[in-house]
Structure 1
Amino acid sequence: MFALLLAAATAAITDADLTFLSGDWRQCTSDGFVEERWLGPREGLAVGANLTLRKGKAMFEHLRIQREADGWTYWASPAGKPPVPFKLVEGDANHAVFANPEHGFPARITYMRDGNELLAKIDGTISGKPREESWRFTAGTAADCGKR
């Protein structure tokens, strides 16, 4: 019985629908913005990019979510560093949780669609202390923030 439940849960994660991520997302802040764009998923691949401007400093991240034999893998490559894999551990039509417990920070990446908003959160530990960062994106680009 447990094996059947585990197989059903694994199938659901392997076949998770990640279309809720698609589009242009932005969070405007008093000192800048965070902008994230997702293309796909198409044929087992979604590609994303993040551009953050905070206090006059620009940062970027290349993102990829790829379906593999054992399920979806989120590949994060901040500032052009080698990509780090995070396996999909939970997901449905409106949310996805990716984890890599050996990574430290972040160890988990969570996305959740809430109507016209996309909530994103990363959490893990730094020097043995828990840390969490979160964003509440709305549809649109940084141009909608009035900042360029």
Structure 2
Amino acid sequence: MRWIIGLAAGLVLTGAAAADDPDVAERRAWMEEQGSLAWIEGHWRRESEGRVSEEIWTNGEGGLYLGVNRSIRDGQARAFEYMRIVNTDEGMQYCAQPGGGEAVCFRYWGGEAGFNMETREPFTGQAVFVNPDHDFPQRIVYARDGNELAAIISDMDGENAITFRWTRVEN
């Protein structure tokens, strides 16, 4: 997994992005050009050895994507998380609420490139969110390749990475 995680390792953090920051404007323009994050929408699921993990994302209507994650082991729900991706005056943010607790938000840092999970060829269905002030994770990368979605959480330099993978559920 180091190959997908390493793609954002070269990012250099500067201070918090202001609404008039050219980098923020560039990222917003990229988001609009790419058709937003429509590639994340849908129901995603993985089953393995008595464990089920699923993530469901709404469309971004009104500038807001809503997501929920649920983990099941041996037929019992063990964990859940509420998520949202919203474009604010400060730029796009990903906010997570593990177990329904207080939200921790990460600012959008980029999505210009990624790698196919099998062939390692470039693709564009990716978004990187960062919060260097958070203990762990500090970086969240969502990447889609065909019918597969991955979320990689790590510290800022990509170390201690944990990858979650799901396959799209066709309705």
Q: How does the TM-score come out when normalised to structure 1?
A: 0.80
CA contact (8 A) 2:70 2:77 kept: no
Give the equivalent residue in structure 2 for 1:80: 100
Deviation at 1:54, TM superposition (A): 3.2
Give the equivalent residue in structure 2 for 1:138: 167
Secondary structure of the corresponding residue to residue 43 of structure 1? helix
Q: 1:66 aligns with which of 86, 89, 95?
A: 86
In the TM superposition, what whole-angstrom CA distance separates every residue of 1:96-148 from its partner, at most 9, and x where no partner exists?
000101112111111011011111111128xxxx422102211118xxxxxxx
1:1-148 matches, cutoff 5 A: 7=22, 9-15=23-29, 16=31, 17-54=36-73, 56=76, 58-92=78-112, 94-124=125-155, 130-140=159-169
Secondary structure of the corresponding residue to residue 105 of structure 1? coil
Deviation at 1:57, TM superposition (A): 5.1
Distance in 2 of aligned mates of 1:22 and 1:65: 11
Distance in 1 of aligned mates of 2:86 and 2:62: 9
Give the equivalent residue in structure 2 for 1:145: none
- Please state which structure has a larger fraction of its residues in strand: 1
CA contact (8 A) 2:127 2:141 kept: yes
Query: Runs of 4+ in structure 1 displaced over 6 angstroms?
Result: none
Give the aligned residue type for 1:71. G
Give the aligned residue type for 1:27. R
Distance in 1 of aligned mates of 2:43 and 2:154: 23
CA contact (8 A) 1:124 1:132 kept: yes
Deviation at 1:26, TM superposition (A): 0.8
Measured at CA, do residues 47 and 57 of structure 1 come closer, stay the same or move farther in structure 2, by a change above 3 Å? closer
Sequence identity (%): 35
For structure 2, list consecutive stretches of 5 or more residues without a partner in the other structure. 1-20, 113-123
Distance in 1 of aligned mates of 2:24 and 2:100: 32
Give the aligned residue type for 1:24. H
For structure 1, list consecutive stretches of 5 or more residues without a partner in the other structure. 1-5, 142-148
